[in-house]
Amino acid sequence: MTQSCKIPGFPRTSEMQHYNRIVVNQHDEVAIVRFVDRRIVDDQNIQELGEELNRLVEQEGRRLLLLNFEGVDFMSSAALNVLIKLQQKAKAHGGSVRICSLRPEIREVFSMTRLDRMFDIRTTEVAGLAAF
Amino acid sequence: MGASSTPAWRLHRTIPSDTEVGSRLIDDLSMQMREHGWDERQIFQVQLAYEEAIVNAIRHGNRYSPEKTVEVVFICNSQQVRIEITDQGCGFDPGAVPDPTSDERLENPGGRGVLMIRECMSDVSYGKGGCQLTMVKDRSDLSIGHDDDQDDE
C-alpha cells in the first residue's frame, strides 16, 4: 500500500493514488469514496470502477469503505453487481462497505432489489462515518 | 395507447448491437416525458427499466453481434409511456430467471435487471419467444419497490 502523508485536519487525501472513476479521501480508518461519473452505466467504465474499488481493498488494504453517491444520478444493475462484489471482498478482509448520500430514486432501487439488507445505507456522509 | 389529452409522440429506431447507442436513445424519450408533464421520479424509473432492457437485448439477446440489430419503439403521451424492444437472439424464458432477492441469491449477479424492469414499470410482457419486450408505464402508477426504508436509525 502506498501510504500518503498524514495531513492535519479533515479530510486527508490519498493523493499518491491515481484513479479514473473514483476519488478517495481517507478519514481515520475509513476510506470515503466518491464517484466521477454521474451516470454509472457504461460497460467499460463499470469494469474499470470495479477494478479500482477492488484495488482499494486488495492492494491498498483499506477495509472500511464509505461509498458517497452524492452527484450520482443513475446506476444500472451491472453497477450494483460491482458493489456486491466489493462488499464480499471487504468482508473477506475483515472490513465492510457502507453507503451514503443516495439520490432518493436510487435509494428505492436498493429497496426494490433488497440490497438494503446487504448494505448499511445512511442519508449523509457524517451519518455514514458515525456508523462505523 | 389509452385515451389521452395530448397527442402521442412516437419514435421507431433500428440500432446496432451497441449498448452506447442504445443508451443514448433514452434521452429523446426523457425529454418527451418532461414535455408531457411526467415527474422526475417516474422518468428515472422508465430510464432505469429501459437501460436494463436494452442492455439485456444487446448483451444476452444479440450477444453483441455486429450482424444483428435491435428495434426500439417509444410511444409517449401525458398518461402513458410504451416501450417495445425487439432483438434478434434466441429468446429467453423470463419465468426461468431466479428471484435475486431471495436470501440464497442476494449476493449473486444475474436476474436483478429483470426484477428492476418489473418493479419500475406498470406492465411488462414478453413476445416472439422472449425476443420482444413490451413495457408500459401508466402516469397513475406511483408505486415502486418497498416502502420500509429506514436509514440513519
ipTM above 0.90, yes or no: no
Report the C-alpha dihedral over residues A102, B60, A118, A116, rounded to 10 degrees. 40
Mean pLDDT of B130-135: 94
Distances (CA, A) of A24 to A35, A46, A65, A96, B19: 9, 17, 10, 16, 29
CA B51 to CA B55: how far, in whole Å? 6
* Closest B-chain CA to A125: B152
pLDDT digits (tens, 9 = 90+) for A7-30: 343 344 444 578 999 999 999 999
A41 touches chain B (CB under 8 A): yes
| H or E element, residue B114 | helix B112-120
* CB atoms B45 and A127 under 8 Å: no
**Cell numbers 476510506: residue:** A31
| H or E element, residue B84 | strand B80-86
User: Is the model's pLDDT at A91 over the cut of 50?
Assistant: yes
CA B42 to CA B30: how far, in whole Å? 10
Indicate the fold that domain B9-138 takes in CATH: Heat Shock Protein 90 (3.30.565)
pTM of the model: 0.87
Beta carbons within 8 Å of A44's beta carbon, 6+ residues apart? none
Q: What is the mean pLDDT of chain B?
A: 90
A80 touches chain B (CB under 8 A): yes
Cis amide linkage into residue A11, ω under 30° from 0: yes
- pLDDT-based confidence at residue B149 (cuts at 50, 70, 90): low
Using a CB-CB distance cutoff of 8 angstroms, which residues of chain A are in contact with residue B52? 76-77
Domain ranges of chain B: 9-138
Of B40, B51, B120, the CB nearest to A76: B51
A2 touches chain B (CB under 8 A): no
